[in-house]
Amino acid sequence: MSHVLITGANRGLGLEHTKRLLERGWHVSAACRQPDKAEALRALDPQDGRLNIYAYDAKDLNAAKALKAQITDPIDLLFANAGILPDETKSFGSAANDTLVHQLMVNTIAPLALVEAFADQVAASEMKVIALQSSRMGSMRDNESGGYYGYRASKAGLNAIGKSLSIDLTPRGITTLLLHPGWVRTDMGGPNGLLTITEAVDAQLDLIARAMKNPAMNGRFFHVSGEDLSW
């Protein structure tokens, strides 16, 4: 049975990924900040032992190590999905604040800590895929409108980390993907998004399935459509 560890599993894209993978027969280790309040996530439980929910706060640098102490099985797909888009870091003049520090921790540093904690378990699996939920807003070339300082910086940093991981983890047979989900109708993306959550997640899962034992996909920044995005 394939096993995924996914963060930010209690809402939006993470919740839909959890739902779809459970439907496909996967074992899902779902991590979120407050499991006792994650009603929608707990409602997905098929009651057959395939869904395990863990407390995980990406703002805590020790959270990945604490999670590793609880999850010891091989991990076919490690999906660093948790991310934040606070209003306080969007506009010039007031973006350099404590919230920006938290945003960099959640969006950039936490995914690296997660991979450092679980790389051996990914390498021990059959699938050997790491997916990092990035964003087109992390692209330097694509930035023609400015603003969104914290989100752009944190996702650009994540892209740099993901590219290095794709090189450093190649000897272990691991494929690292950087994924842009598109503009999705979620709490973060807003009601005007071009894609439903189901459309975005199905397309991302197709990309992830293609990455298994496919070194040509390693270290690339993919739009949900499958096209390569500029750094």
The CATH code that applies to domain 3-223 is 3.40.50.720
pLDDT of 125-160, one tens digit each? Answer: 999 999 999 999 999 999 999 999 999 999 999 999
What is the average pLDDT value for the chain, to the nearest integer? 95
Domain boundaries, the chain: 3-223
pLDDT of 196-222, one tens digit each? Answer: 889 999 999 999 999 998 999 999 999
pLDDT of 14-50, one tens digit each? Answer: 999 999 999 999 999 999 999 999 999 999 999 999 9
**Distances in Å between the alpha carbon of 115 and those of 112, 161, 166, 210?**
5, 10, 11, 20
pLDDT of 77-132, one tens digit each? Answer: 999 999 999 999 999 999 999 999 999 999 999 999 999 999 999 999 999 999 99
Looking at the predicted structure, is the pLDDT value of residue 192 above 90?
A: no
Looking at the predicted structure, is the pLDDT value of residue 187 above 70?
A: no
